[in-house]
Amino acid sequence: DFMKQGHGMLLLYTLKNPSFPEYSFSSESGVMCLDFHSDHPQLLAVGFYDGNVAIYNLKRASPQPTYKSSARSGKHTEPVWQVKWQKDDMDGNHNFFSVSSDGQIVSWTLVKNELVHMDVIKLSADETTMQGPEGLQLQTLGSGISFDFHKKIDYLFLVGTEEGKIYKCSKTYSSQYLDVFEAHHMAVDTVSWNPFHLKVFISCSSDWTIKIWDHTIKTPLFVYDLATAVGDVAWSPYSSTVFAAVTIDGQAHVFDLNVNKLEPLCSQLVVTRKKNKTTHVQFNPADPVIIVGDERGLITCLKLSPNLRKKPKEKKGQEVKKGPEEEIAKLEKLLSLVRQPGKKE
């Protein structure tokens, strides 16, 4: 409950033992988001409701985070909605980024034994200034909800805001954006680059829609209306055309554009209790498993049935090509159908 903020918990489970967490950490403020480091999985970055960020090292037996921001050394002034690890910087220091409703995107670097922060970008809502008392000009801030970094172009990232816009930004220009997409009518809950195709990203919003974009084109290529607010969307790690979404009516949906461009292959009720909403979905990087989180704190682990992960059929004597190039080509073929004809690549 956002009005009654209490303590937070960070729990780490293994699928071998769903009844009890392997690790548990308690915190003074609610935990909003987390991200494991891809090369050092013992490092976990966490963002809190009070605007702080922290890093837990699972190899250390301490109940406290190894690093934590503070009001003195700098923190966000509003909840942190997402944290994401980045490649180590030039000096080999670990670093991650955070986005918050205060309109700031901040990079945090582990230097020796402290977190050093640097403001990367400040979102402002349409460069508008409000008339304050006695003619003061007040600048209104946009508030960031979600972001994602490009898989190959290191400096490029997208930010989704509460106003429904998606900004294309660069780590190197802190004062302006590269581009703005008028994406949704309500907050952009998730924005995510396709793991295979370097131009494509997906976004979802409480305005009931999921949209798939090419970042060089200002209008969406695909739009799906799920008839209720969409909490989260995630690309699958094994196919460029498969993604999953959860809606607040307790359902999980799995799409494969290659099989059906118009509607989900499967929509399944995950949450049974009334007034409970499904809020998060994530694919397992190795196995055909998704996990869904809800507002009551339950996590449901679902296995995708074989017809939700169909592979192309092998013709006699022909080998089906596999690999990232094929995945890119598969999605490109679909996109070329919806891009305006006559537009040059």
* Residue 309: per-residue pLDDT: 75
pLDDT at 51 over 50: yes
Judged against a pLDDT cut of 80, whether residue 202 lies above it is answered with yes
Residue 127's region, left for phi above 0, alpha for psi from -120 to 50, else beta, is left
The predicted structure's pLDDT at residue 162: 85
Query: What percent of the chain has pLDDT above 70?
Result: 87
- Does residue 225 lie in a domain region? yes
Q: Is residue 301 part of a domain?
A: yes
As for how many domains the chain has, the answer is 1
- What is the average per-residue pLDDT within 262-285? 86
Q: Report pTM.
A: 0.82
pLDDT at 315: 56
Give the residue numbers spanning the domain of 143. Answer: 8-339
CA distance 46 to 60: 16
Residue 344 lies in a domain: no
pLDDT tens digits along 178-192: 888 888 998 888 999
**Is 304 within 8 Å of 286 (Cβ atoms)?**
no
* pLDDT reported for residue 153: 83
The helix/strand/coil state of 334 is: helix
Query: What is the average pLDDT across 134-148?
Result: 65
Assigned domain for 174 exists: yes
**Do 294 and 277 form a contact (C-beta atoms < 8 A)?**
yes
Radius of gyration of the chain (CA): 21
* DSSP assignment string, 133-182: GGG-EEEEEP-EEEEEE-SS-TTEEEEEETTSEEEEEETT-SS--SEEEE
What is the pLDDT at residue 192? 92
Structure tokens that stand for 35 in this block: 């991200």
Return the percentage of the chain with pLDDT > 90, whole number: 19
Residue 261: pLDDT above 60? yes
Q: pLDDT averaged over the chain? A: 83
1 is a domain residue: no
Euclidean distance between CA atoms 78 and 343, whole angstroms:
43
**The pLDDT of residue 285 is above 50:** yes
Query: At 258, which CATH number?
Result: 2.130.10.10
Burial 107-131 (b: 16+ CB within 10 A, else e): bbbbeeeebebeebbbbebeeeeee
Please indicate, yes or no, if residue 3 is contained in any of the structural domains.
no
Strand order in the sheet with 95-100: 80-86, 95-100, 104-111, 114-122
pLDDT tens digits, 149-182: 888 888 888 988 888 888 888 877 766 678 888 8
DSSP 320: P
Mean pLDDT of 233-260: 90
In the predicted model, what is the mean pLDDT of residues 99-110? 85
Q: Give the residues across from 209 on adjacent strands.
A: 225
Closest CA to 291 of 25, 31, 41, 13: 13
Cβ neighbour number for residue 229 with a 10 Å cutoff: 18
Q: Is residue 221 part of a domain?
A: yes
pLDDT at 344 exceeding the cut of 60: no
What DSSP line would sit under 114-136, residue for residue?
Answer: EEEEEEEEE-EEEEEEEE-GGG-
Q: Sheet holding 242-247: strands in order across?
A: 230-235, 242-247, 251-256, 266-269
Of the ranges 175-179, 235-239, 308-312, which one carries the lowest mean pLDDT score?
Answer: 308-312
Q: In the predicted model, what is the mean pLDDT of residues 124-130?
A: 54
The pLDDT value recorded for residue 2 is 63
